């Protein structure tokens, strides 16, 4: 979709981090923007912060783990703006849960937000984009953790591998319809994702904080450090806009992590050598 001005974007997880940066970049490109998020007060502040950035930015409360909530957000967006062209399934959470603490609640929460949330976004908007026929683009936020399991055995890695896989399949199916798909695979980005439990609905049980001296606790501390020195979210957003305009599928923002993916592919090929 070369021309973004005058079009409309919907962004989940839009109240902060990469989602807000995407909203800001879309607004500055002349798009109408609907930010969707589970956190009401932060969402209101985010909408306010973009008040003068673009033609019209609004917010809608949405819990991406709930298909009905995503459906309502889609309806509200169409009522507000008419046709929606760019849909960013970006909301995501992280929780500890490796071999030290295999908490099913952690797995359910992370998979519900990071995987089912993406699915619900696609289900709620794709029929609309196909029907209006003005073209569109679906942007799914995965991670480098969707291509390399550097974070170990964890629900986050499982969810992001799934998002990469489903996006690859979706892109192939939507290409003939003229609808683009992009999967975003950043490394560490300076956002609030490290305050990981703040949006955890009660049905996923209490927050589990690993012992700081355990391997899981040490991994968390390392991740917190890497997040603090991570890339600015605006840089991720700039790459995404360029990918939408140029119809690029993979968005990478951390070229220094290329080796991790090469190592994985080499291991896969070595497996084939033994076939
Ligand atoms: N920060 C990083 O280093 C990094 C790296 C790679 C990928 N990502 C991915 O980028 C995406 C955005 O994360 P971020 O880093 O900007 O984190 P963030 O915590 O700053 O933003 C995530 C947003 O999602 C919202 N959210 C959480 N649960 C929700 C739910 N159930 N329904 C709707 N909204 C919900 C939060 O309120 C928050 O505004 C995620 O998918 C994340 O996995 C982040």
- Residue 21: both structure tokens together: 């940066």
d(CA 18, CA 232): 9
Q: What is the pLDDT of residues 56-70, one digit of tens each?
A: 999 999 999 999 999
Three-state secondary structure call for residue 87: strand
Q: Is the pLDDT of residue 211 over 70?
A: yes
Residue 54: pLDDT band by 50, 70, 90 thresholds?
Answer: very high
d(CA 91, CA 5): 24
Q: What is the pLDDT of residues 125-143, one digit of tens each?
A: 999 999 999 999 999 999 9
Three-state secondary structure call for residue 41: helix
The pLDDT of residue 195 is 79
Three-state secondary structure call for residue 95: coil
Report CA(206)–ligand 1 centroid distance (Å): 19
Three-state secondary structure call for residue 246: helix
Helices (H) and strands (E) in the chain, counts: 9, 7
Residue 28: pLDDT band by 50, 70, 90 thresholds?
Answer: very high
Residue 196: pLDDT band by 50, 70, 90 thresholds?
Answer: low
Instruction: Supply the DSSP string of 187-211, one letter for each residue.
Output: S-BSSGGGSTTTT--GGG-S--PPP
The pLDDT of residue 105 is 92
d(CA 76, CA 59): 10
- What percentage of the chain carries pLDDT values higher than 70? 100
Nearest CA to ligand 1 atom 24: 13
- Residue 162: both structure tokens together: 């799934």
The pLDDT of residue 139 is 99
Q: Which of 15, 18, 119 to mutate to test the pocket of ligand 1 (most atoms within 8 A of CB)?
A: 18
Report CA(74)–ligand 1 centroid distance (Å): 19
For residues 205 and 119, the model is more confident at 119
Question: Which atom of ligand 1 is the closest one to the Cα of 18?
Answer: 16
Residue 256: phi, psi to the nearest 5? Answer: -70, -10
Q: Is the pTM of the predicted complex or chain greater than 0.85? A: yes
Question: Which atom of ligand 1 is the closest one to the Cα of 141?
Answer: 41
Please give all residues whose beta carbon lies within 6 A of any atom in ligand 1, as ranges. 12-13, 15-19, 37-39, 62-65, 90-93, 113-114, 141, 143, 186, 188-189, 191-193, 199, 227, 230
Q: Are 57 and 23 in contact (CB under 8 A)?
A: yes
Instruction: Catalogue the active-site residues.
Output: 156
């Amino acid at each position: 979709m070369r021309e973004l001005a005058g079009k409309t974007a919907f962004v989940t997880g839009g109240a902060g981090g990469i989602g807000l940066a995407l909203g800001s970049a879309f607004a500055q490109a002349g798009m109408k923007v609907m930010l969707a998020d589970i956190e009401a007060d932060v969402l209101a502040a985010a909408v306010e912060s973009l008040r003068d950035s673009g033609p019209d930015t609004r917010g809608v409360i949405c819990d991406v783990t709930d298909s009905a909530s995503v459906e309502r957000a889609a309806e509200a967006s169409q009522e507000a703006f008419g046709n929606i062209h760019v849909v960013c399934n970006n909301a995501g959470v992280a929780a500890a849960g490796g071999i030290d603490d295999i908490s099913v609640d952690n797995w359910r929460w992370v998979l519900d937000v990071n995987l089912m949330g993406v699915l619900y976004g696609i289900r709620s908007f794709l029929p609309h984009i196909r029907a209006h026929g003005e073209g569109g683009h679906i942007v799914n936020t995965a991670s480098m953790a969707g291509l390399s399991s550097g974070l170990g055995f964890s629900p986050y890695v499982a969810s992001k591998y799934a998002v990469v896989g489903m996006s690859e399949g979706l892109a192939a199916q939507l290409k003939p319809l003229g609808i683009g798909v992009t999967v975003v695979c950043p490394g560490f980005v300076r956002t609030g994702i490290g305050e990981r439990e703040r949006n955890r609905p009660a049905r996923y049980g209490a927050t589990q904080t690993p012992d700081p001296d355990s391997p899981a606790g040490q991994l968390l501390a390392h991740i917190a450090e890497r997040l603090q020195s991570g890339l600015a979210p605006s840089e991720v957003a700039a790459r995404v806009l360029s990918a939408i305009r140029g119809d690029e599928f993979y968005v990478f923002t951390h070229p220094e992590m290329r080796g991790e993916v090469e190592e994985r592919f080499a291991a896969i090929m070595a497996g084939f050598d033994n076939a």
